[in-house]
Amino acid sequence: MPPGCTLFTVPSSATRTPVCHRPLGDRGAGAIEYGSAIVLSGALIACLVVFVPSISTGVGSALCRMLALAGIDCGEEEEPRAEHDVTPAYCPRSSDRSSVGFRADIGFMHIGQEYSFATEELSDGRIMVTSIPGAEAGLSGGAGFDFGDNRNANGSANFEANGTGRLKAGTTFIFDDQAEYEHFKDELHTYVSRENQSLLEYDSGMAVALADTIDPVEIPEPDIVSSTVEVEGNANYGIGLWTSDPDKRSTKNGDYEDKNDGGINLNLGARGNVTVDQKMDISDWRGIGRAETYSWGASGDIGSNVLSNTNADAASWNGATRVMRDDDGKLVNIRYSTVVTTSHTDGTEINGAGGNSGNSNLNENGGKGSDSETVTERSTQMVQLDFDTPEEQAMGERMLEERGLLPPANVLDYSRGVEGDPLSSMVTDSEQPATDPGPDAPDWERHAFEQGRVWQWDSNDEIEANGLEASLKMGLQFGLGANWATEERRTHDAQYLGPPTDDGKREFMPYAPCVAGADD
């Protein structure tokens, strides 16, 4: 009997007839068999998805691909890219700040105190008001030498190093609009007036108590309460050359004689300063949580003086990382910021001293008054990563463990210079759009690309500063100084990094709400 044949018995007879069958291959009915297998497999997977939801992620897409092989359309459409709010979280249109402070020097030690008050108008119309009292203490030391005949012409060169620690406590109120802020100012003025009345008029207690009952003052709780610890070190250096009064020159025995021959009293000098500082700020945000901010910076300036006129050019860089957590310690967001400034200062400085006006040691016994005007160009860039889900929070914690206070590597490519602005190009010269980091990048880099808020603004500052100093040497050097200043800052250009596009890019676009006067 041939292979592949079997004996088949015909019922009507006892004859057994061999019947041969051709074995089936992968052709012919194979497509139907495969389709049946695919449908059956899909049904089994569907059952697993229904009864075991935890494995459903990604299974739906695989199921549709299997059914598509059998020519069955499950109707699945590709999920669109999720839209996230990437507009700036904080962008000041303008700010005004005033400060006053004093400093006392005793030998190589110094102590001081400063109080500042600032208001900011934000891009969303809110008003932030911050008051910061602060205290400082530090040590200083240096060396110098004089040269010249000590009668008609003198010169000196000096070097001084200082180390200063500061402690500041800040209180910030945030108001929804200008009207709410004006109401706060009225309430604060009423409160201060009543307190002064109670202190100055001994018989006004009942009247003040009655006023508080009829019209109580409503001072809201602050939105932010902060404490800042700062350590700063700086080095000052200078060289000077000056002459005594040409109409009243000193004689060899130290007396004066009138010459009345006219002339010019020269006062020439060059000086510079290098400063490095580090800060840690802890702030409690009402209704949000606690933020810890770590910042570091460096600055330098070089200047000169001719007679009583002074001028200086300066540049500075400051970087900071703020980690925000909620009341349960869960990560809310991380904000990275960079500030670069250049400035020019013009001013007047008048020195006064008793005794011989040709004495080179004017700072030992005497005083000094100064006033100056500074124009600053400031470029600020910020990146904020928000963590809204437990998975994102865990990712943020891993990033902090691996990178510390440094931002994701691709964030450094997200900054750009403003066209025609050499200042912002000091931060970065990148003009290329941000691109998708790819599937092999760390998850925090992908998070930064897909959801990170990136924005920058450029502003002009105008600062008017005044100061008075007096010093006296009696074995130890004693000195007192006071200073006061006002500052106006206006934003003239702002951009933010737009959301990802379908081609995997993010590009900067103008952010008009942050520009001062944009609504005018």
For the chain, domain boundaries? 92-147+167-243+264-345+373-514
Burial class (CB in 10 A: 0-12, 13-18, 19+), 424: buried
The pair of three-digit structure tokens given for residue 119, joined into one six-digit string: 């208001």
Lowest pLDDT segment from 246-255, 466-475, 491-500, 503-512:
246-255
Average pLDDT score over the chain: 76
- Can you name the residues that pair with 278 across neighbouring β-strands? 231, 296
Q: What is the DSSP string of 119-158?
A: EEEETTS-EEEEEEEEEEEEEEEEEEEEEE-SSSEEEEEE
Measured CA to CA, the distance from residue 473 to residue 398 in angstroms comes to 58
User: Which residue in this structure is represented by tokens 């389709």?
Assistant: 35
Measured CA to CA, the distance from residue 359 to residue 377 in angstroms comes to 39
Measured CA to CA, the distance from residue 345 to residue 343 in angstroms comes to 7
Residue 15 identity? T
pLDDT of residue 62: 55
pLDDT of residue 145: 62
pLDDT of residue 153: 59
Question: Is residue 480 over pLDDT 70?
Answer: yes
Length of the chain: 520
Nearest to 503 by CA among 177, 81, 33: 81
- Cα 351 off chain centre by: 38
Strand pairing class (309-325; 331-352): antiparallel
Lowest pLDDT segment from 51-65, 94-108, 405-419:
51-65
- Tell me how many helices (H) and strands (E) the chain has: 6, 19
Measured CA to CA, the distance from residue 346 to residue 305 in angstroms comes to 10
* Contact call for residues 177 and 185 (beta carbons, < 8 A): no
Nearest to 151 by CA among 249, 248, 242, 239: 249
Question: Is residue 354 over pLDDT 50?
Answer: no
Mean pLDDT score, 321-334: 95
* Contact call for residues 173 and 220 (beta carbons, < 8 A): yes
Question: Is residue 264 over pLDDT 70?
Answer: no
- Cα 391 off chain centre by: 26
Burial class (CB in 10 A: 0-12, 13-18, 19+), 408: buried
Measured CA to CA, the distance from residue 427 to residue 415 in angstroms comes to 8
| HSE (side-chain half, CA atoms, 13 Å) at 508 | 22
Measured CA to CA, the distance from residue 444 to residue 441 in angstroms comes to 8
Helix H or strand E encompassing 312: strand 309-325
Cβ-proximal residues to 342 (8 Å cutoff; 6+ apart), any chain: 313, 314, 315, 376, 377, 423
The pair of three-digit structure tokens given for residue 33, joined into one six-digit string: 């068999």
Nearest to 452 by CA among 417, 490, 408: 408
- Give, in order, the Cα–Cα distances in Å from 367 to each of 113, 257, 329, 429, 451: 20, 25, 53, 46, 57
Provide the whole-model pTM: 0.74
* Contact call for residues 446 and 437 (beta carbons, < 8 A): yes
Mean pLDDT score, 220-248: 76
pLDDT confidence tier of residue 211, bands split at 50, 70 and 90: low
- Give, in order, the Cα–Cα distances in Å from 442 to each of 1, 383, 436: 69, 17, 12
Measured CA to CA, the distance from residue 248 to residue 268 in angstroms comes to 19
- Dihedral sign from CA coordinates of 451, 452, 453, 456: negative
pLDDT of residue 99: 93
- Give, in order, the Cα–Cα distances in Å from 440 to each of 92, 212, 403, 437: 37, 65, 18, 8
Question: What angle, 0 to 180 degrees and rounded to 10, lies between the N-to-C axes of helices 30-51 and 59-69?
Answer: 160
- What is the tens place of the pLDDT at every residue in 266-323? 566 677 778 888 899 999 998 899 999 999 999 988 888 777 788 889 999 999 999 9
Cβ-proximal residues to 302 (8 Å cutoff; 6+ apart), any chain: 270, 271, 272, 312, 313, 314
Cβ-proximal residues to 165 (8 Å cutoff; 6+ apart), any chain: 136, 137, 138, 229, 230, 231, 232
Mean pLDDT score, 507-514: 93
Nearest to 341 by CA among 428, 456, 429, 459: 459
